[in-house]
Structure 1
């Protein structure tokens, strides 16, 4: 049994927006990107850079996004359901 919270965002038939307000969804479209840091093995990073260089129409970001998207889709397919997107939350400093 998981300790993760069960949050009801409505039925799949109603919408597939994970319960976010329409205004929020418009502000965070597919074109929106967030910057984050991660670590890769040096050889993998060099291969990634070389691939982006030789594929003139691809950037490192494009390649990473595509790989992550495909991997998540495969994980969801193996799992038999989508991963639930939790709404943004604020952590108080108290």
Structure 2
């Protein structure tokens, strides 16, 4: 999945800095709905990582029933946290 395409699809632009709070909230709501209904694991994980980047991702323990997907999400969250600190 292409990040710019995802942003454009859910937010109408690839530049979130141009949006007001209401537009961002609406985009996050759309993204959350897509995450909740997506069944293909790779696409679902991509949507979760975008939610995570926006600070709106559900906890991996509740978001992913499959142990491998959950472990991947936890590893991603740890790596993203380390990257944010450096």
TM-score w.r.t. the length of structure 2 is: 0.34
Higher helix share: 2
If asked which structure has higher relative contact order (CA below 8 Å, sep 6+), I would say: 1
